[in-house]
Amino acid sequence: MENGVSVVLCCYNSSKMLPETLEHLCNQNVNPEINWEIIIVNNSSTDETVEIAEKILRQKSPVAYRIINESRPGLSFARKSGIENAVYAFIIFCDDDNHLNPDYVNVSYEIMSSRQEIGAAGGISESKSRIKLPAWFEEHKQNYSVGKQAEVSGDITNVNIALWGAGMVIRTEAAKYLYSKGFKSMLTDRKQGELSSGGDSEFCFAFRLAGYKIIYDERLNLKHFLPDFRLNWNYLRKLSRAFGAQKIYFEPYLKKLNVNSSIPFKENHWSKEAFRLLKKLRQYGLKKLLKMNKLSEGDWEQLRIEKTIGRLQEILKIRNRYNKNFILLEQAEWMKKIILK
């Protein structure tokens, strides 16, 4: 593929978020020798997302841009469309609430160009909001994709960490390789009215299983804008339950990678996992479960309970699929070790 960077911005009803996000994107200070482009993926928006993006980019974009449509709802589908349409070797996934530092494209190119075996890279993010952050936010900011993703910059391939999608940089060739060999996300990420996510983590697990490296570099810096409604304890509780649900889809990857797994890969059954989760809920005590809504804001245990409930609900929902996910991963052609040239 041609050397350069494709910035992919996936949007669903992003008309209010886009102006400031695109302002930062258009103000990138990019080395003239680095080719780059902007791709807006409109994921079935019903507002003026497309019109606003077109107006701003027509007036301010320093590089070629395209606006494409993805009718299938879900962030994973939107990102796949972005990957398929990217013309350059590296892709930055910029969410509609990500304000990239001026050197983000430059640093992304430098990192990904340094080693051919790097499949994905991510950095650090700071929170940005119009209201005062809640007292509990600092302790729980990782749930909002805010803060450091690792202790120090470097190779985190063998660490129990998956990069979040906000600002994640990937190797286009690696992503296209996965899709060409039959990779299909077990998740669809966020849809209208839902909080489920995780396709970014799933991509990192897939890259690792395919033989690529994952890098954390704090030179990749962005500000993550958080709307008022997200800075609410009840929102975080719902988000935690969604995180619990998505973990069910990560289990085949994590067990294949031997991360925190005591169960042999081929010996998995939804009923065993459901029983384990029920047992875990019992350990919290019936009294605490019944009074969970009365627990104080900032209570870690309340979020842990929400995650456990989310996992249990999801495994019961997909019980006929649960075992098949392990089998599908075991048979995946894309998981064969890549021989890097």
What does the pLDDT look like over 170-187, one tens digit per residue? Answer: 999 999 999 999 998 888
- Span(s) in the chain for CATH 3.90.550.10: 2-231
Q: Please compute the mean of the pLDDT values over residues 29-50 and round it to a whole number.
A: 97
CATH code for 2-231?
3.90.550.10
Tell me what pLDDT residue 196 has.
Answer: 56
pLDDT band per the 50, 70, 90 thresholds, residue 1: confident
Mean pLDDT of 291-297: 75
Beta strands in the chain (DSSP E): 2-11, 36-42, 65-69, 88-93, 98-100, 118-128, 154-155, 169-171, 213-225
Task: Number of helices (H) and strands (E) in the chain: give both, helices first.
Answer: 12, 9
What's the pLDDT at 149? Answer: 95
- At 304-316, the pLDDT tens digits run 999 999 999 999 9
295 and 250 Cβ atoms separated by less than 8 Å: no
Question: How far is CA 250 from each of CA 21, 53, 204, rounded to the nearest angstrom?
Answer: 30, 34, 11
76 or 191: which carries more pLDDT confidence? 76
For the four alpha carbons of 287, 291, 294 and 296, in that order, the dihedral sign comes to positive
